[in-house]
Amino acid sequence: MTGAPPAPSRTAVRPAPAHTLMPTFELRGIPAEPPVADKKPVVTTLHGETRRDDYAWLRDKEDPAVLAYLEAENAYADAWMHGSQELQDTLYAKMLSRIQQTDLSVPYRRGEWLYYTRTEEGRQYAFHCRKRGEDGAEQMMLDVNALAEGHPFMAIGAYEVSPDGSLLAYSTDSNGYRQYQLRVKNPATGELLDVTAERVTSVAWSADGRTLFYAQEDAVSKRSYRLYRHTLGTSEHTLVYEELDERFDVYVSLTRSGAWLVQTRASHTTSEVCVLDATQPGGEWTMVAPRVQDREYFVEHRGGEFYIRANDTGRNYRIVTAPVASPSPEHWTELVAHRDHVMITGIDCFAGHLVWTERERALPQIVVMDLATRASMRVAFDEAAYAVGPGANEEFETTFFRYGYQSFLTPPSVYDLDPRTLESTMRKRTEVLGGWNPESYVLERTEAVAADGVRVPLTLLSRRDTPRDGSAPCLLYAYGSYGMSSNVLFNPNRFCLVDRGMVYALAHIRGGGDLGKAWHDDGRMANKKNTFTDFVACAEHLCATKRTSSDRLVAQGGSAGGLLMGAITNLRPDLFHGVLSQVPFVDCINTMLDESLPLTVGEFEEWGNPKVAEEYAWIRAYSPYDNLEAKAYPSILVKTSLNDSQVGYWEPAKYVAKLRTLKTDTNPLLFKCNMGAGHGGASGRYDALREIAFDYAWMLRQVGLAETAPRH
């Protein structure tokens, strides 16, 4: 949540009354800023502090005044950006020119079928297909373009083929709110079975493919809390389990071996797992180990043993085995020990070998163990920074392990790894069109030193001819929450900025999982301020090393990274020329006080509970909405979506409305709300590129590169 100054004021500057119009001015013919409706403020008292919220009314999605305000903000932002339409069109065309629009994924085998996706030029969405053998006839599993007809948004959630390959269980979201509807389809005939369920979060088949298990979320809080069993051909949907602890979610899966159904119940800090013989779907589930606060473990299967990744002896996890007949902790046998500086992030079991992923010094690794000899080997990668992880590995009996690899300079690549020799065979590398040449660029890893002496990794991308005298603009991006690592991913769109002379920097700050669970722990709860001061240290490092200067530096982050943007903008507005804040979590206290909202209760273990005085003080110190002041701010672009289920659109709307009454500068403050999407923005690939072109055009204008032609 925050990274405010060492001793921020507990009392925010009181905003102007809500009926006051926004400050108005005319600039380049742009209309006055959008007005706020005449609404009464909400005044409350918490822990002795009187809290006044002038913009709480913006949460009422059904109020015509709210929609009118959002549309007015959209119109104002479009007016500000009107002169950039040619630049936006140029950026869009360039991004599109680098994409192989008609393309095919590398097929993966499951049983007698090869499964793949393909795209066609002019189509927004993918086709999910399969065929028997390389020369078999194509069978359409899902045409997402057809599913999207009549909807402003379309996304696929679950996609589970029955063990015999005869049925597909899938789920769809048609408005971006991430509430998925379950359907079951016969791919051979195209027939939809009379099986539906709402708000489905995960799906798994029994061994015979006649029984379907699915988890369902609560309609209000969106917590995945119930597990159901449905046998095809019946009308019954039997409740198997209901989770009463509001911190926990429930998910179901089938092991790669096909032998066991796994029911995982997890909070942000604790988990427990129950298993069921997949041939006995009506049987009783067996508890592996009951929940113990701060103990997390996850279960896979091979032969007569479960393979378990557990953090019972250390935060970074170890791997143990347990007999399927008696899997409780007293029967756990250590296979891979815990290490203080290496985080085990996942395990994959196969008939003859075990593969696990781990992360050391912000670099992901793949390790293969021959289960006959227990000898293990780590796969070597050459680049200074990269992203690597498991690909589609559906077969339990297999002679290879599929993984994906990419970096800022290496396009997404699919490899098959021989677990005996560690020899990798590349099956495909995504083609980048338009004359792109990786030799023109440099990928580097450096470190910034935080205020407490901690060294924070930074990954940089620039052209070889970019000057290092402080004159180059820079985009600094970070996330820094939930223990999620910031991966070094390839993005062909990014070169629209880099080719114009910008440096792209990715900060691996605390709160993320880049350096293991301790890195996460040092950036959550009472330690959340480290996330923000780490980002500031990274920005200062870029300026001190002449990569850029503060008048050429733009910051970007989304969701919890949008919280980061709000916090650093309050903390050091002088350090950034522009800030792009996407679906930002900025109204932290009000949101965390409302337990009916999605995510709130579970996230008491990430941010704290503001109903507890000490934890309120943590959040109050950095909550962006609560710490806005009458002072100069950078140029800011805030983006959200009306149907966002993760961060309500009203959070950024309130933030912008309040900031307009306080900011003392004349820098542009723009707010864009996608009226037909959710947390991830537009779902169609062409629509998404249009949104990126808007963001990039705004960014290039801020750093004086709008008229600069890209170098090749």
Question: How many C-alpha atoms does 684 have within 13 Å on its Cβ side?
Answer: 17
For 503, phi and psi rounded to 5 degrees?
-95, 135
CA distance 78 to 695: 12
Question: How many C-alpha atoms does 248 have within 13 Å on its Cβ side?
Answer: 24
Q: Which of 655, 535, 480, 509 is nearest to 584 (CA)?
A: 655
CA distance 636 to 702: 10
Q: At what angle do helices 685-702 and 85-97 cross, to 10 degrees?
A: 130
The alpha helices in 7-48, defined as continuous H runs, are: none
Give the chain's radius of gyration (CA, Å).
Answer: 26
CA distance 307 to 132: 32
Residues 591/585, Cβ–Cβ less than 8 Å = yes
Distances (CA, A) of 42 to 45, 50, 433: 10, 11, 54
Which string of DSSP letters, residue by residue, matches 97-129?
Answer: HTS-SSEEPPPEEETTEEEEEEE-TT-SS-EEE
Beta bridge partners of 463: 441
CA distance 700 to 272: 49
CA distance 381 to 401: 16
Question: Which of the residues 481, 559, 623, 645 is marked catalytic?
Answer: 559
Known catalytic residue: 644? yes
Q: Token pair for residue 669?
A: 């403050």
Q: Which amino acid is at 252?
A: V
Residue reference for tokens 């991830």? 680
Question: Which of the residues 249, 416, 499, 644 is marked catalytic?
Answer: 644
Known catalytic residue: 679? yes
Question: Which of the residues 353, 508, 577, 679 is marked catalytic?
Answer: 679
Q: Token pair for residue 334?
A: 């250590």
Beta bridge partners of 212: 205, 230
Contacts of 303 (CB under 8 A, 6+ apart): none
CA distance 263 to 448: 42
Q: Which of 456, 452, 555, 583 is nearest to 507 (CA)?
A: 456
Catalytically active residues, by annotation? 559, 644, 679
